[in-house]
A and B are shown apart, each in its own frame.
Chain A
Amino acid sequence: NAGVTQTPKFQVLKTGQSMTLQCAQDMNHEYMSWYRQDPGMGLRLIHYSVGAGITDQGEVPNGYNVSRSTTEDFPLRLLSAAPSQTSVYFCASSYGGGNSPLHFGNGTRLTVT
């Protein structure tokens, strides 16, 4: 099992460019989510999905789009990159809610210049 796979590991964008961060899991998890991690601020939820075809906004959704066409994949799209989106992005999945722990990808370090 690969677990949660995120690509790319590093990315540099110029302001205004768009891109998609890829996330895939092979554990048949219903729940998937995207977080950003900034220094001193812990993890902040961007978007999440409780199953294929269902997505919802988290704490900091502005500037990001998601879709969930399959159980396995949950891509995060940056529509028009801004320097404020410079961060480390983590994708995570879990079997469900409750006491199901999140399984994280290894992260994507994004720099917007």
Chain B
Amino acid sequence: AQKVTQAQTEISVVEKEDVTLDCVYETRDTTYYLFWYKQPPSGELVFLIRRNSFDEQNEISGRYSWNFQKSTSSFNFTITASQVVDSAVYFCALRDSNYQLIWGAGTKLIIKP
């Protein structure tokens, strides 16, 4: 069965620290897609990144980077030099052979000034 686990319920760091949000997934499919979304305190859900199962290339976008490792079924998200505006709940999600996304429970990230 498909499953997404975000074991870190809440993380609190001081501004400018680096922080990594973990995402571990389970699926029997060989083709699948992984996503990260951000939900700031204002409540909207913002798409951050997607990754296909056949593309293990890591990605960097400014202070954000994503590490996809099929061998450990993980798709971790790192924020470098965190800022207060990064405070949000971050969700990891999996889509495999159908339209539905399977969501993790989210990690609440608190960046203290």
Q: How far is it, in angstroms, between the C-alpha of A94 and the C-alpha of B101 when the chains are bound?
A: 11
Residues of A within 8 A of B64 (CB): none
Q: Which of A88, A102, A103, A107 is the one whose CB lies under 8 Å from B101?
A: A102
Q: Which of A79-113 contact B (CB under 8 A)?
A: 88, 90, 92, 94, 96-99, 101-104, 106-107
Q: How many residues in B have their beta carbons less than 8 Å from beta carbons of A?
A: 19
CB distance from A7 to the nearest CB of B (A): 15
Interface flag for B91 (CB, 8 Å): yes
Stretch binding the partner chain, chosen from B11-19, B20-28, B40-48, B73-81? B40-48
Given the known interface contacts A41-B105, A48-B99, the answer about A106 and B43 at a Cβ–Cβ threshold of 8 Å is yes
Question: In the bound complex, how far is the Cα of B105 from the Cα of A98, in angstroms?
Answer: 21
Q: How far is the CA of A103 from the CA of B45 in the complex (A)?
A: 8
Return the contact of B99 from the options A88, A97, A101, A107 (Cβ within 8 A): A97
Chain A interface residue count, CB cutoff 8 Å, equals 25
Contact of A58 among B35, B44, B100, B105 (CB under 8 A): B100
Q: Are A43 and B91 in contact (CB under 8 A)?
A: yes
- Majority-rule SS of B interface residues: loop
> Is A24 close to B, CB under 8 A?
no
- Is A42 a contact partner of B104 (Cβ separation < 8 A)? yes
List residues of chain B with CB within 8 A of the CB of A88.
43
Chain B 51-91 interface mask (CB, 8 Å, partner A; 1/0):
01000000000000000000000000000000000000001
| 8 residue pairs, one from A and one from B, having the closest CB atoms | A104-B45, A97-B99, A101-B47, A42-B105, A42-B103, A99-B33, A43-B103, A99-B50
- Given A58-B100, A102-B45, A107-B43, 14 more contacts at CB 8 Å? A42-B105, A45-B101, A88-B43, A92-B45, A96-B99, A97-B98, A99-B33, A99-B50, A101-B35, A101-B47, A102-B47, A104-B45, A106-B43, A107-B45
